[in-house]
């Protein structure tokens, strides 16, 4: 047992020394992701608020059976920005909120019951005030609720708010003017009523509130997340997967230099070899995450960005990092096993990670992609990692609520590691 432990320790020692003496590799793994997260977050900070996004999944719960509800539904369905799902009007608001915080829909809109009737009643009262001098104290305040997933950009939620505000204002005006038109037949009433009172304030006509609420687990409201909360998880996942370049290169280097062949003539189980590398790179991934976390917490504030907020979420985040690292290590073992040369492994490894990150939603949000890409995205391990990070950071999920993503990541890692190891073992220059 002690001898076996000594053998494992020897492999760990070897892999650790080999890794930490590879300065270029260390730069790729540590400095580049840190520089990337600073640069991208800084650049995106402004564009984050104004980027035109398309085909956002929106859910509408229209409990109003009148004209307003129908018109809003029609208006949103006509918009090129949204992919609308309309719930049965007997559905519960709580189920809509659950669908939004879980990420099924990015935005949820709730139009309350009898909205059109209340709007009409209010308009009548306003006209009565205008023409009859009554007070406006009994006006009913009408609320349209908008629930937004924390991972959606605030600009898009504001676009929905603006759209509804514009439409409700237009609708109110139509009601008011139709009432004015009716009152025009009694011109005397107008002049006498205007004589003794001040002109009504136009703001009094606006009795519709559109309430924007960013919701997390259990429908709890939160502040809109900023670009930092989006970018730190996204580039952490990217950085973790970028170990593929270094890991696969180290496998091929050992194969090419002959040390792998020598190791195969020494008596120890062959899985020690890959597991010792995996352990070292798992450690690297945790260090990468801690480095990016430090950059997010301390460096961002120095360059005028918001600090990354993670308080109370460190343990679930570390859990996500470990699962994502297992997926990345497995994929690296696969690339290293399948590739024949160092050049193949580094080029294929790097390019494939950029592609997987693109379809996984690191560069562009998944909901803004064409439909086919959205489907493919669900198969990208970077997407699983990213969603797990968003669940923890933005949606306040605990470990038990992100297990599905973590199972996928770990399963992917184990399967690819086994395939890569078997393939690499057979591909050894001497095993023809």
Interface ranges with another protein (CB under 8 A):
3, 6-7, 9-11, 13-14, 17-18, 21-22, 257-259, 261-268, 428, 430-432
- Minimum distance from residue 265 beta carbon to another protein (Å): 4
CB nearer another protein, residue 218 or residue 258 = 258
CB nearer another protein, residue 269 or residue 378 = 269
| Nearest CA among 381, 73, 427, 121 for reference residue 240 | 381
Helix ranges restricted to H, 102-242? 115-132, 154-183, 187-195, 227-241
- Minimum distance from residue 328 beta carbon to another protein (Å): 23
Beta bridge partners of 59: 85, 108
- Minimum distance from residue 316 beta carbon to another protein (Å): 36
- Minimum distance from residue 262 beta carbon to another protein (Å): 4
Task: Indicate the burial class of 320 (C-beta count within 10 angstroms; 0-12, 13-18, 19 or more).
Answer: buried
- Minimum distance from residue 7 beta carbon to another protein (Å): 5
Q: How far is CA 393 from CA 225, 231, 389, in A?
A: 10, 11, 6
Q: How far is CA 343 from CA 128, 260, 346, in A?
A: 81, 18, 5
CB nearer another protein, residue 42 or residue 425 = 425
CB nearer another protein, residue 206 or residue 257 = 257
CB nearer another protein, residue 275 or residue 322 = 275
Tokens of 368: 């803004």
Half-sphere exposure of 145 (CA within 13 A, CB side): 20
- Minimum distance from residue 270 beta carbon to another protein (Å): 11
Containing 87, the helix (H) or strand (E) segment is strand 82-87
Task: Indicate the burial class of 16 (C-beta count within 10 angstroms; 0-12, 13-18, 19 or more).
Answer: middle
CB nearer another protein, residue 123 or residue 250 = 250
């Amino acid at each position: 047992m002690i001898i076996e432990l000594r053998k494992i320790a020897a492999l760990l020692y070897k892999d650790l020394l080999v890794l930490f003496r590879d300065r270029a590799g260390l730069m790729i793994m540590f400095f580049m992701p840190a520089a990337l997260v600073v640069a991208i977050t800084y650049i995106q900070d402004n564009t984050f608020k104004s980027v035109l996004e398309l085909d956002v999944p929106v859910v509408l719960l229209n409990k109003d059976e009148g004209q307003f509800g129908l018109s809003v539904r029609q208006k949103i369905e006509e918009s090129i920005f949204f992919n609308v799902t309309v719930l049965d009007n007997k559905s519960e608001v709580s189920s809509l909120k659950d669908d939004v915080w879980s990420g099924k829909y990015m935005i949820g809109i709730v139009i309350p019951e009898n909205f059109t009737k209340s709007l009409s009643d209010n308009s009548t009262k306003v006209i009565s005030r205008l023409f009859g001098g009554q007070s406006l104290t009994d006006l009913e305040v009408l609320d349209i609720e908008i629930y937004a997933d924390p991972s959606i950009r605030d600009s898009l939620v504001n676009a929905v708010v603006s759209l509804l505000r514009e439409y409700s204002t237009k609708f109110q005006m139509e009601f008011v003017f139709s009432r004015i038109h009716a009152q025009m037949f009694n011109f005397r009433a107008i002049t006498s009523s205007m004589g003794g009172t001040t002109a009504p304030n136009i703001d009094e006509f606006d009795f519709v509130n559109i309430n924007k609420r960013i919701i997390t687990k259990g429908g709890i409201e939160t502040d809109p997340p900023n670009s930092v909360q989006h970018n730190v998880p996204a580039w952490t996942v990217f950085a973790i997967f970028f170990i593929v370049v270094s890991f696969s290169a180290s496998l091929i280097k050992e194969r090419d230099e002959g040390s792998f062949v020598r190791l195969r003539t020494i008596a120890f189980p062959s899985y020690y070899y890959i597991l010792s590398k995996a352990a070292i790179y798992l450690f690297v991934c945790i260090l990468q995450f801690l480095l990016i976390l430090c950059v997010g917490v301390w460096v961002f504030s120095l360059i005028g960005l918001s600090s990354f907020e993670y308080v109370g979420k460190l343990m679930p985040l570390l859990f996500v990092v470990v699962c994502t690292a297992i997926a990345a290590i497995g994929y690296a073992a696969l690339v290293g096993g399948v590739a024949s040369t160092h050049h193949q492994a580094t080029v294929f490894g790097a390019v494939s990670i950029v592609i997987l990150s693109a379809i996984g939603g690191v560069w562009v949000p998944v909901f803004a992609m064409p439909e086919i890409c959205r489907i493919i995205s669900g198969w990208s391990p970077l997407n699983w990692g990213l969603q797990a990070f968003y669940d923890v950071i933005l949606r306040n999920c605990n470990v038990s609520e992100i297990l599905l993503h973590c199972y996928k990541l770990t399963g992917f890692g184990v399967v690819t590691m086994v395939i890569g190891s078997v393939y690499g073992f057979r591909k050894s220059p001497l095993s023809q």
